[in-house]
């Protein structure tokens, strides 16, 4: 049975981009391996969710998926764009199997593609397409700590490169290893281009490698516009009387003074302690108070609280 990415994310086919992203973040937070340690089922579900969002979260990939279903990647590798045919129906399209690309050209050019007609010698489109340089797309998921500081990643992947020998062209699997630099503050979904690291054609030239950077969900920090948000536990006594609590950031822990009478849900802004920005500088960190009450209360605590209540 073909994989239904829409069903995996729990959204409709007509869902807007922001709804797809929201559904992904909610599910990814729920099934993240850091939240579910040693849970193989949750890990598998997280990978499934990430794969679905990798396609539906990219406008071009989603367009191909809507047209070709689970065979969208084949269409992508073949360089097919549905709009190039002005609505021309592709056999097996519309979410089903991927149709024979060569048959499209046979219908359009009366059989001139491939074996030819009426003495005309044609070109087999499939062989031609197979032997051309092609761009390759990959996706990496990067932690917020890596986004904040910048990082390097080594990608190992395989391409089917065309090689010409004694007048014959054959495609052979080729393993490639590329180190990419992920700049600090790179936006979620941004693509990095690595020239000449795609699939090689029979002319000796290779396409490019495009790497989409995705921000991984974090078990502590959440995005709040241009800033990060983190919940901090504040004991009820500190909230009532005032005191200091520890607030985690992406790089270190900070001590923050909590004024007396602080209410649950209040947010304290820590300027410049958020995530690095692509244009330079850093955002703020919003520390949101969550008041905690000991459970169960010790006898002495209960006695003192009852005295306060009676006052």
User: Would you say domain 132-216 falls under CATH 2.60.260.20?
Assistant: yes
Determine the straight-line distance between the first and last CA of the chain, rounded to whole angstroms. 68
For the chain, residues classed under CATH 2.60.260.20 are: 132-216, 222-310
C-alpha 291/C-alpha 245 separation (Å) is: 12
CATH homologous superfamily of domain 222-310?
A: Urease metallochaperone UreE, N-terminal domain (2.60.260.20)
Joined together, the tokens standing for residue 28 give: 């990814």
Indicate the pTM of the whole model: 0.56
Cβ burial 266-296 (10 Å sphere, 16+ → b, else e) = bbbebeebbbbeeeeebbbbbbebebeeeee
Closest to 26 measured CA to CA, from 217, 227, 290: 217
Q: What angle do CA 230, 236, 238 make, to 5 degrees?
A: 80
Cβ burial 241-255 (10 Å sphere, 16+ → b, else e) = eeeebebebbeeeee
Give per-residue pLDDT as tens, 168-221. Answer: 878 889 999 999 999 999 999 999 999 999 999 888 899 999 999 999 999 999
Give per-residue pLDDT as tens, 3-20. Answer: 789 999 999 988 998 899
Give per-residue pLDDT as tens, 19-76. Answer: 999 999 889 888 887 788 888 888 889 888 888 898 898 888 898 888 878 777 766 6
Q: Residue 104 in contact with residue 81, Cβ under 8 Å? A: no
């Amino acid at each position: 049975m073909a994989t239904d990415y829409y069903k995996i994310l729990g959204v409709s086919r007509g869902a807007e981009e922001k709804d797809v992203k929201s559904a992904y973040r909610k599910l990814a937070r729920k099934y993240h391996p850091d939240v579910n340690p040693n849970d193989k089922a949750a890990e598998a579900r997280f990978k499934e969710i990430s794969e679905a969002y990798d396609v539906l979260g990219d406008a071009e990939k989603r367009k191909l998926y809507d047209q070709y279903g689970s065979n969208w990647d084949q269409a992508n590798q073949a360089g097919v764009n549905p709009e190039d045919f002005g609505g021309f129906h592709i056999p097996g399209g519309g979410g089903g199997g991927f149709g024979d690309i060569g048959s499209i050209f046979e219908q359009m050019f009366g059989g001139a593609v491939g074996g030819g007609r009426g003495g005309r010698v044609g070109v087999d489109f499939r062989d031609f397409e197979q032997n051309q340089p092609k761009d390759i797309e990959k996706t990496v998921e990067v932690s917020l700590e890596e986004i904040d500081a910048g990082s390097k990643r080594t990608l190992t992947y395989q391409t089917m490169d065309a090689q010409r020998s004694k007048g014959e062209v054959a495609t052979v699997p080729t393993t490639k290893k590329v180190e990419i630099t992920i700049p600090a503050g790179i936006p979620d979904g941004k693509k990095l281009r690595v020239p000449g690291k795609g699939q090689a054609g029979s002319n000796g030239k290779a396409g490019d490698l495009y790497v989409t950077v995705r921000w991984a969900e974090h078990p502590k920090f959440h995005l709040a516009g241009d800033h990060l948000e983190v919940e901090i536990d504040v004991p009820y006594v500190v909230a009532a009387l005032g005191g200091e609590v520890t607030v985690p950031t992406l790089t270190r822990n900070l001590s923050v003074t909590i004024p007396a009478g602080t209410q649950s849900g209040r947010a304290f802004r820590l300027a410049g302690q958020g995530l690095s920005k692509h244009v330079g500088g850093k955002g703020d960190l919003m520390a949101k108070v969550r008041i905690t009450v000991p459970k169960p209360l010790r006898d002495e605590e209960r006695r003192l609280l009852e005295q306060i209540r009676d006052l």
